Amino acid sequence: VSPGADLLARFGVGDGGAFEAAGVTLTGRDDATPLRLHVAARRWTAAAGVETLAAFADGAGAPAGPAALRRRHGDGQVTAWAFDVARNVACIRQGNPEWTGGNRDAFPPQQLIDSMVGWVRPETLARPD
């Protein structure tokens, strides 16, 4: 569920609408290889005092806006992700849900691998998302 514009504004976050991002890079890490993104993203902007925890990456791996933000207030804090984290993890681990029910590898019968054909990137297997 996406937070409404009023709630975002209350925490210093502006919503610039949906956009396509290729991945997510966690800030403060030496490994700058973006994690894959398979879900819709929101283009958020952050006011002063809002910390970026993760950034979207474009197709070349360059930053393309905040993906996760944190705002501290008093003894509390709020963290918000600009994409559906749980759905993205499910897509990475289980394949594209739009391919369910199809035999994509041309070998009968239909198997789990059918949802992964064209989905798994061999160059990223050494570092699972």
pLDDT digits (tens, 9 = 90+) for 78-125: 899 999 999 888 888 777 777 777 777 777 777 767 777 777 776 766
Alpha carbon separation from 8 to 23, 37, 44, 89 (Å, rounded): 23, 22, 9, 24
| Amino acid 50: pLDDT | 93
**What residues contact 52, with CB distance under 8 A and at least 6 apart?**
27, 46, 66, 68, 69
| Amino acid 8: pLDDT | 87
Q: Are 25 and 57 in contact (CB under 8 A)?
A: yes
pTM above 0.85, yes or no: no
| Amino acid 51: pLDDT | 93
